[in-house]
Every structure is written in structure tokens, then in C-alpha cells.
Amino acid sequence: MPEPVLLKLGGSVLTRKGGPGTVRHENLAMISREIAGHARVPLLIVHGAGSCGHPEADRFRLMEGLTGQNLEGVFTTHLAVSKLNSIVVTSLRKEGIEAIGLHPLDSCYAENGRIVSMECRHIREMLSQGIVPVLHGDVVMDGIKGATIVSGDQIVSYLGRALRFGRIGLATDVPGVLAGDTVIPVLTPQTIGQVRIGSSRYTDVTGGMEGKIRELLELARSGTCSEIFHVDQTGAFLDGRPHGGTVVRGG
Amino acid sequence: MPEPVLLKLGGSVLTRKGGPGTVRHENLAMISREIAGHARVPLLIVHGAGSCGHPEADRFRLMEGLTGQNLEGVFTTHLAVSKLNSIVVTSLRKEGIEAIGLHPLDSCYAENGRIVSMECRHIREMLSQGIVPVLHGDVVMDGIKGATIVSGDQIVSYLGRALRFGRIGLATDVPGVLAGDTVIPVLTPQTIGQVRIGSSRYTDVTGGMEGKIRELLELARSGTCSEIFHVDQTGAFLDGRPHGGTVVRGG
């Protein structure tokens, strides 16, 4: 099969992060049409949790792991992000994309906040059959902390190393990695020290733009480059046209 | 942690197999109360799909694998069994059980109809934290056939070998394995040839009672014994009291 493309949809383009867990249905419908119009299979999609899941993870203090008092938080947080995943999958299927939701809680094992083990052979088979797997940021079990929150960006970084992708793109609510008002065209592990990273509009439990860049630099070190761009440029990325964003690559 | 117990709930005790995909809500509520009253964690539950999923799998001919015409059947069948899983989990949580649904499509990879690979470390962590994972018969990706149907009984057989369980029990709509009207108290790989197995009331795509015994004999050959009993005896099984059913064990 041709090398698949991995597209990450930021939580902030799918939900309103400022308010309660509200899905931005019009944005989602627009993105789904864009993907249907420009993408070819094999394609894998990962989305962030945005405001669906972060408030629950905060309320049960899941970033600190399981404490004996917050076991219910695993179910409650997973339910919130699973509902968003189901809405995303439904929207993609409405546009004719053969999307199927896959929940990281069901297939990942982490240690101290990092995924160390995840079944991937079924994902490869889905890609080769033309199914579009749709994964997401989730709560996952953790052998050290009991449970932890794994961001969509960490899923991208893990899958980017476990499977072979031709291209990896991250659609966000900003035009790329910003230094002041200017998009940094190329970031490498060598140049990251020279720039002061602007943040995404809202912070979240998984680290916002800084967390994203940390994941992508780890991916770059293992030899896989990735691209960050504004969600309005999703079609341009899928077509392979210039998108005015940032490329994160090895030195 | 103490050795966990694995309880399998037959599809026919949760749904009406004769008619369309109807859940037997009263039965399910009764079973959930019975489990809450008699079980201790660590506990893992697997349930069959019953009439939720089997009609879809039949309609899309998923037992023959992917043909290029039936890709949609993966999503549709998975959706049907996932809905049943969600109803089962909700019913268990209503009784105070810390249940979380886990979908085999998300974590299993099969070859020619048999699971060959499945992430299990997160399941072990759930068990050690007091979470009750609830798995089910499902469609899963298959490296030879594209996709296949994996019964709840095959999940029991796989997990019975991958994890270490103190006891494994299967609650069904019959009092045990029957030879005519009589329950066979003990079945082994040696004695199976001497008995003519009566069937469950309704056949299904995954082989009914014969399929179940095939899975349990495979488990027995690997040194793990299991018990089949009528669902009304679930409390007796969980307490370790006599349940009048069948024990399947090595020679």
C-alpha cells in the first residue's frame, strides 16, 4: 500500500476551549468536507479532546494519577472524549469517509505518563483495507501512576514511530509555530533553543503548543518530520501544496 | 493482587436471539445485582453479542472476511455490539460496580479467524486498580481475511491464556453441557469424543455450545479449567458454591 498520511485535528478547532464542553459542529462539518474533498486513503486521523475531557480530567485530578479517591474519573473522562470521538466519526462518515473510532484506553499501556505499549497491527490492517482509524487524546492505564492523560499529540508521536507515514500534519487554531506574530517556517532540535514559543489561545492539561512541539521534536529525532498549519489550510496540506505553516524536522 | 475471576455472560441471556436485536433489560438488571452482591474485585467480564451484532455480521457476510463490497459491515457490526456493551456497563455501574467497556476491535489483531495479538498490560493494570473491564464478542481486523468475527468465548479463551485467572465461569441459558437432558459434570479433551453435545436454544454465527466447548477445551489443554452453568447460578459460582453445571478441565 502507499505510505499513509496522518492528520491530527487540534482539540481547539473541534471544541470551544473557553466555555463548557461544546463541540464546534460547523467547524467539524467544514473540516470533514475538506478531508473528503482532498484526502486519499490510506489515512489515519487523531484528534485532541479540547474541552471534552479536559474539565473531567481536571476535576478528578487524573494528571496526578490514581489516588484511591478518583477511580470514577477514568470512566467519566473516557466517556467525555469518546462522545466527541463518536461525533467526529459520524461527521466524517456523513461525507463518505469510511471512518472508525479507536479508543486509546482500549489498546494503550503507559508508564509515568508515556505510552510504552500499544497494539498496532490491527491499525495497519485497517489502513491497508481503506478504513480511516480515528484515535484521540484519552485517559489510559499507567503501570506507575495507575492512570494518566495521554494527549492526541503523544498518540501522533507514538504512531509516527510505530507505523510508517508518508506525511504527518497537525491542523490547529494558529497558522503555525509563532515567534511573536511570525510563523517559524522550520523547527529542528537544534533551533528550538533560539525561539520563544507563543502559546495556543487556551492552555490545557496536556501542554498546548509547547507540549505539541515537544512531541514533534521527539518524532523528528527518530527521523520523521511533521507539519503544523492553520485548520483552514487542511486541504492544502492534503494536496501537498504550500500551507504557510511550520515544518518540524531533524537537524 | 489476588487471582482475578473471569465471568462470561452468554449473548442469549442478555438478548433475545429469536427476534431482532432486543436487550433483555430485566435479565440484565438481575444479573448486575447478582454480580454486585456476590463478586469481589479483581473481576473481568466478557459478554456475547447475542442478537446485537450477529444479524449485521450475517447481512454483511463478515464470516467470509472482507470482499471489497462489505467494508461498511465492520463499522455497522461494531456499532451494534458496542451499544450492547454500553448498556451492560451502564447496568453494572448502576449497581456500584466500577465497570469500563473495552472493545476488542480496538485492541485485537487476528489471522484467519483467530486472535494472534492483543494488548493486555492495560487490562492487568485495570484489574489491579479495582476496575472491572467488560469485553465482548466483536468484529476484529484479520491479516488474512481482512476482518473476522471473534466470539466472546474466543476472547475468554485468549485472555484465559494471556492473563492468570483464579476461576473462569460461563453463565448461559442452559444448566451446563447437556447429553440429552442430563448435565455432564466434567468434560476433558479425552472424554469429549464420548458425548453428543446438545445445542444452545438458538444457533449463531460463532458456533453456539459447540464453539464454546471448542474454546474451553483449548483453554483446558493449556492448563486452565472453566465452569459452565445456568445464569441463575451466577451467585453460586461467584461464591464458590455448587452450581450443578459442567467443569471443563485437562485430562
Smallest Cα distance from B188 to chain A, Å: 34
Q: Say whether A102 and B105 touch across the interface (CB within 8 A).
A: yes
pTM: 0.94
Grid cell 475471576 — which residue? Answer: B5
d(CA A221, CA A216): 9
Provide the pLDDT for residue B138.
97
Asked if residue A122 has pLDDT above 50, the reply is yes
Strand partners, A139: A149
* Residues of chain A neighbouring B143 (CB-CB closer than 8 A): 121, 125
Provide the pLDDT for residue B19.
66
Closest CA to B177 of B121, B234, B248: B248
Average pLDDT over residues B23-43: 96
- Out of A106, A125, A143, whose CB is closest to B107? A106
Asked if residue A200 has pLDDT above 60, the reply is no
Question: Which of A199-208, B65-74, B159-168 shows the lowest per-residue confidence on average (mean pLDDT)?
Answer: A199-208
* Residues of chain B neighbouring A130 (CB-CB closer than 8 A): 71
Determine contact: A94 vs chain B, CB below 8 A: no
Q: Can you say how many angstroms the Cα of residue A83 is from the centroid of all Cα atoms in its chain?
A: 16
Residues 110-129, chain B: which have Cβ within 8 Å of A? 117-119, 121-122, 125-126, 129
Q: Say whether A100 and B105 touch across the interface (CB within 8 A).
A: yes
Provide the pLDDT for residue B18.
67
Q: Say whether B140 and A146 touch across the interface (CB within 8 A).
A: no
Smallest Cα distance from B224 to chain A, Å: 25
| Residue percentage of chain A with pLDDT more than 70 | 94
Average pLDDT over residues B147-173: 96
Provide the pLDDT for residue B179.
85
More confident residue, A199 or B101: B101
- Out of A107, A141, A143, whose CB is closest to B106? A107
pLDDT digits (tens, 9 = 90+) for A5-54: 999 999 999 998 766 678 999 999 999 999 999 999 999 999 999 888 88
CA distances from residue A196 to A193, A210, A229, A240, A249 in whole angstroms, order as listed: 8, 10, 18, 28, 18
Asked if residue A203 has pLDDT above 50, the reply is no
Provide the pLDDT for residue A23.
94
- Model confidence at B180, in pLDDT bands (50, 70, 90)? confident
